[in-house]
Structure 1
C-alpha cells in the first residue's frame, strides 16, 4: 500500500483537554494532529510542566524546576484497516509562560490511502507508573 498525498492538519473532532494522566498529577491536552505522506504528528500540552532531568554535571543547579522523575513519552498507532505505525520521535520543552510542557510526537509512515482513521496510543512512564491513552482521529 502507498502512503497518501500530503493533506492539511486535522483538528481533533472533540476537544481533548485536561485529561488526567500520571496518577492525576498532570493534565493532558491534545493541541493538534497533522498528517503528511511521511508522518502523522500529535501536538500536546501537559500541566503542570513535567520535571526536567539534570545531568550529573548540572546536579548543583538550584532552580527547583527539576524535581521529580523524568517522564518518558512514546506514540504508536494503527489504522482502521490494520496498518501499524511506529514511533519516530518528538520534541518537548517548557511553554513560553513556563506553566506547561508543550511537545510533539510523530509516527511513521504517513497514513495509507485506504485508511480513514487512526488510533494513536500515547504511553507515559515516570519510572514507577505507566499508562496509555488512546485517541481515534480521522485521516481523510
Structure 2
C-alpha cells in the first residue's frame, strides 16, 4: 500500500506518515513512520518520550483493543518505523474500520483517526 496520509503530530515537532494497513483473521495492523525519529524506550536528554496506543471501531460498532506493536529506527536513521495492532481481526459484517492512534509525550495527548476499507479488496 502506498503512503496513506501524512500529518503533523506532537505539536508539529514530528511528522506521522501512515505507510500501510493490513487486516487478517487475527488482527488489524497499522504501519507508520515518525520523522524526526522518536526517543527510544527512555526519555532523551530533554526528558522527551512518546507513548503510542491504538484502538479501533468498525462501521457496525464492534470495538477492537490494542494488542501491542514494535518500533525502531529506520535504516537511514531519519525516522522511527513501527507497527501497532488491534485484536481481534475484523468481524465478517464489517466493511470499514476507523483506527484511532493516540500519542502521549508526557504532557500532551493527541488522537488521530484513520478509516480503512475491509473485505477482499482491502489490505
Would you tell me which structure has more strand in proportion to its own residues? 2
1:3-42 Cα offsets, whole Å, 9 max, x none, are xxxxxxxx37x7302x100000000000010110000000
Alignment map for 1:1-140 (pairs within 5 Å)? 11=1, 15-17=4-6, 19-54=7-42, 66-68=44-46, 69-140=48-119
Normalising by structure 1, what TM-score? Answer: 0.80
Paired positions, count: 118
Normalising by structure 2, what TM-score? Answer: 0.90
Name the larger-Rg structure: 1
- The ranges of structure 1 where at least 4 consecutive aligned residues each deviate by more than 3 angstroms after the TM superposition are none
Structure 2, unpaired ranges of 5+? none
Distance 1:23 1:134 in 2: 17
1:91-133 Cα offsets, whole Å, 9 max, x none, are 0000000000000000000000000000000000000010000
- How big is the alpha-carbon RMSD for the aligned residues of Structure 1 and Structure 2? 1.6
